[in-house]
Structure 1
C-alpha cells in the first residue's frame, strides 16, 4: 500500500493505474477509521482494481471550531487498518496541500442542502462539496463509496456530481452498527463508556418507531421519538425529521412519498457529542 501526501504524488500514482487499465474506487474519509469505513473499503476493493482512500479532516465543512479541534486524528492506526483491508493507496494531505489558497467556490443545491443539517450547520454542505469535488478532480475515480449514515450528504454529493457533469458512480453503503445498535462514527470515540450505553437508545427508539408508525401518523411518530429520547438523561434531540427519501422534504402523510426516511441528530453526554442516524420506513 502506498501512502502519499501531495496532489502531485497522488496524480502520478493514479496515472500509473490508469495506464494499466485499472478501474479506481475512492473512499473519502476524515480518518479515525472504524468498521463502518472498513465496510466501504471492502466493497471498493471487491468492485475495483484499485482503491484509493483519502484521510483528511476538512476544515471548510466545520462551522464549530471546537468540533474541528477535537475531531479524532489517528493516521498511523488508520493506515494499519487500510493495509489489512488491501487498500492500494492512502492520500493523507495537509490542509495547505488541499487548499493552497482559500476556496471561494459556492455550491447550492436547494432544496436538498437547505433542510436538516443544511439549516442547522450553515456552510457545512458547501464545505463538503468543496473538498469532495477536489478529491474527485484529483483522483477521477470510477466509483465513490459513501456511508448511508450521512444520508443527506449522499444526496448533496449526487446533486454536485450531476451539476459538474462528472462521470462518477456514487455508491451508498449500508450503516454499520455496534452490537448495541449505535451507528458507528468516529465521534463515538469521544463518548465515555456510560455515554455510549446511553447513545444506543437513539437506534432503539428509531427501530421501535417502525412498528408504532404502522398505526400512527407521521407527526405522532416523529413526536414520539423526540419525546422518548429527550426523556433519557444525557440525550437531547436537535431535530428528528421524517422526509421523502428522494427530495429530503418533510412529509405530513405516509402516502406522500415512495421512500420515507427518518433523519435524526442527537446530542449525547456532559460535553455534548453530536450524533446522527437515520432509519427507513419504506
Structure 2
C-alpha cells in the first residue's frame, strides 16, 4: 500500500493507473477509522480496480468552538486497517498541503446546507464541499463512497456533483452499528462508560419512528414528537434537532408522501451524536 503525503505523489500514481485503464474508488475520511469506514473501503474494493482512502482532518469544516484540536487520530492504526482490507493508497496530507496561506476558494450548496446540522454548524458543509471537490480533482476517481450516517453530507455531495457536472458516481453505504444499535462514530470515543450506555436512546427512538412509518403513519409531526419524547426521557440527552425532511431538498415536511429523511442530533453529555433513517419509495432503508 502506498502512503502519500503530497498531492503530487497521488497524482503520479493516478496518472499511471489511468494509463492502464484502471478504475479508481475514493473513500474520503477524517481518519480514526472504524468498521463503518471499513465497510466503505470494502465496497470500493469490490467495485474498482484501485482504491484511494483520504485520511485528513479537514480544518475548514470545524467551527471555532468545535473539536478540531482534540479530534481523535491514530494514523498507524488507520494504515493497518486500510492495508488489511486492500486499499492501494492512503492520502494523509498536512493542512498546508491542501490549503496554502492565501487560499480563498470555497464550494457550497445553498438550501440543503442550511437546515439540520447546518443550523448549528454554519461553515461545516462549505468546508466539506470544498475538501471533497479538491479530493475529486486530485484523485480523478470514478466513484466516491460516503456513509448514510452523515445523511445530510451525502445528500449535499450528490447535489453538488449533479449541479456541477462532475464525472463521478457517488455511492451511499448503510450505517454500521454496534451490537446495541449505536451508530459507529469516531466521536463515540469521547463518551464515558455511563454516557455510552445512555447513548443507545437515539437508536431506540429511531426504531420507534421507523415502526410508525412501517405501520403506515404519514403525519410527520406525530412521528417527530414520539421520537423526541423518547430521547428526552433520558436525562443525559439534550436534543439539538429531531426532524423529518424531504430527502431530495432537505426541507421540513408535515406529511410523508415521498422520499424522506428522519434525522436526529443529540448531545449525550458534551458529545454530539447524529443518527437517521431514510424512506425511499415508501420503503424504509434498514438501520443496519
TM-score in terms of structure 2 length: 0.93
Residues 77-112 of structure 1, C-alpha deviations (whole Å, 9 max, x = no match)? 000011000000000000000112343224342321
Map 1:116-195 onto structure 2 (within 5 A): 116-195=116-195
Residue number in structure 1 paired with 2:286: none
- Conserved 8 A contact 1:24-1:50: yes
Residues 142-178 of structure 1, C-alpha deviations (whole Å, 9 max, x = no match)? 0000001111111111222223321000000011111
Residue number in structure 1 paired with 2:245: 243
Across the aligned residues of Structure 1 and Structure 2, the Cα RMSD in angstroms comes to 1.4
- Conserved 8 A contact 2:54-2:90: yes
Residue number in structure 2 paired with 1:42: 42
- Conserved 8 A contact 1:103-1:130: no
Residues 93-149 of structure 1, C-alpha deviations (whole Å, 9 max, x = no match)? 000001123432243423211111122211111100111101111001000000011
Map 1:61-100 onto structure 2 (within 5 A): 61-100=61-100
Residue number in structure 2 paired with 1:208: 208
Aligned length: 278
Task: Call closer, same or farther: CA 1:189–1:39 in 2, change over 3 Å.
Answer: same
TM-score in terms of structure 1 length: 0.94
Residue number in structure 1 paired with 2:21: 21
Residue number in structure 2 paired with 1:279: 277
Q: Whose helix fraction is larger, Structure 1's or Structure 2's?
A: 1
Residue number in structure 1 paired with 2:5: 5
- Conserved 8 A contact 2:243-2:263: yes
Question: What CA distance in whole angstroms lies between the structure 1 residues aligned with 2:109 and 2:73?
Answer: 30
- Conserved 8 A contact 2:263-2:277: yes
Of stretches 212-221 and 83-92 in structure 1, the one that deviates more from structure 2 is 212-221
Question: What CA distance in whole angstroms lies between the structure 1 residues aligned with 2:208 and 2:143?
Answer: 35
Secondary structure of 2:248's partner?
Answer: coil
Structure 1 regions of 5+ residues with no counterpart? Answer: none
Tell me by how many angstroms 1:67 deviates.
1.1
Residue number in structure 1 paired with 2:59: 59
Secondary structure of 2:252's partner?
Answer: coil
Question: What CA distance in whole angstroms lies between the structure 2 residues aligned with 1:167 and 1:125?
Answer: 21
- Conserved 8 A contact 1:239-1:265: yes
